[in-house]
Structure 1
Amino acid sequence: MNPAAAPRRPTPAFLLAHPAHCIALGFGSGLSPKAPGTVGTAWGWLAFLVLELWLTPLGMGLVIGFSLLLGWWACTVTARHMGAADPGSIVWDEIVAIWIVLWLAMPMGFWGQLAAFALFRYFDAAKPGPVAWADRLFKGFGWRGGWGILFDDLVAAGCTLLVLALWRHLFG
């Protein structure tokens, strides 16, 4: 696909033009005109709750591992096709990151999950300290850039898990 012909804001036609687009754009959640990262994270939360009905914790871990590799490919291809190193409409990174947070922090009720969601969104959007470092580390196109799309969200997930663990230790 010619990056010059790629839409600045992806369309449903772009989403369906290549399997990588569908994955990287979170099966359409990245098409949201407002806050696609938040919409993608919400989609990931809901998808996790559905997957959790059928998968054991080990099965969920295997799905997450596979999804990281699949997402690396999908984010690399989609960013290249969009002609942007890290387009906001690519939300697979948020989806896999919230899966990791929920997988490692569960069991917890709705309010705990909402707190995890809010903390992750804070770390992903504000990019304090280590998340900003991770965001700068792998930039550009190709496999390195595709990994970079995922990496800062993985660090944001780690920061979220650290805060949740501290909260549980101090107040749990």
Structure 2
Amino acid sequence: MNAARLIGTVCGVGYLRPAPGTWGSLAALPLAWLLHTLGGFPLLAIATLAVFFGGLWATRVMTAGQDNHDPSEIVIDEVAGQFTALWAISYPAWAYGIDITALWPGWIAGFLLFRLFDITKPGPVGWADRRNDPMGVMLDDVIAGMFAGVGVVIIAGISHGVLGL
């Protein structure tokens, strides 16, 4: 397996069926935990950027000369998006010395919201997806991850009474 395929499919996770995108998102969870455990939010942020740019390269290589700009086996974009969604729990855990596993509701909300926004593609997520190029493949998931992260913060605020509701 060449390097682009290894990266793009996240070591073959993209070949799992059904729902390879969901498998890719699930694979991102233990990776995010490991990165956060080893280096806190800064390492997760750096890894997110590395995954984004590595995924952009892998997607370009894997789709070169093909009509399908986003084959289902490419799931590195889901990893980038899921990592982005998890910033909403990684940063506060790192900044306030909280064990990230104590924020388990945020993990669940981040996963579910990311999948929701990645599948339904509201607003800017859909715009990025319609680019029909490798940047769109990666960008739609990062934007979905941003939406999910905001959703996690809102849910946490409501749950903890911070928003006064």
* Same fold, judged at TM 0.5 (above): yes
Go from structure 1 to structure 2 and tell me whether the alpha carbon gap of 1:26 and 1:156 turns closer, same or farther (over 3 Å shift).
same
Aligned counterpart, 1:168:
156
Q: Measure the CA separation in 1 of the matches of 2:108 and 2:63.
A: 30
TM-superposition CA deviations, 1:68-89 (whole Å, max 9, x none): 1111101111122765211111
Give, as a single letter, the amino acid of the residue that structure 1 aligns with 2:145: A
1:73 and 2:67 aligned:
no
Give matches, 1:91-130, under 5 Å. 91-106=75-90, 107=93, 109-130=103-124
1:152 and 2:140 aligned:
yes
Q: Measure the CA separation in 2 of the matches of 1:112 and 1:59.
A: 19
1:135 and 2:123 aligned:
no
Give matches, 1:8-27, under 5 Å. 16=1, 18-27=2-11
Aligned length: 150
**Stretches of 4+ moved more than 6 A in 1?**
none
- SS of the counterpart of 2:72? coil
Q: Find 1:47's aligned residue among 31, 35, 51.
A: 31
Superposed displacement of residue 105, structure 1: 2.4
Give, as a single letter, the amino acid of the residue that structure 2 aligns with 1:98: Q
Superposed displacement of residue 130, structure 1: 2.7
Aligned counterpart, 1:57:
41
Q: Measure the CA separation in 2 of the matches of 1:27 and 1:35.
A: 16
Report the identity percentage. 29
Aligned counterpart, 1:84:
68
TM-superposition CA deviations, 1:10-41 (whole Å, max 9, x none): xxxxxx1x200110111111001210000000
Q: Measure the CA separation in 2 of the matches of 1:97 and 1:155.
A: 7
Moved more, 74-83 or 21-30: 74-83
Q: Measure the CA separation in 1 of the matches of 2:103 and 2:144.
A: 21
Q: Measure the CA separation in 2 of the matches of 1:83 and 1:27.
A: 24
1:33 and 2:30 aligned:
no
**RMSD, matched Cα:** 1.7
Under a length normalisation based on structure 1, what TM-score does the superposition of the two structures give?
0.79
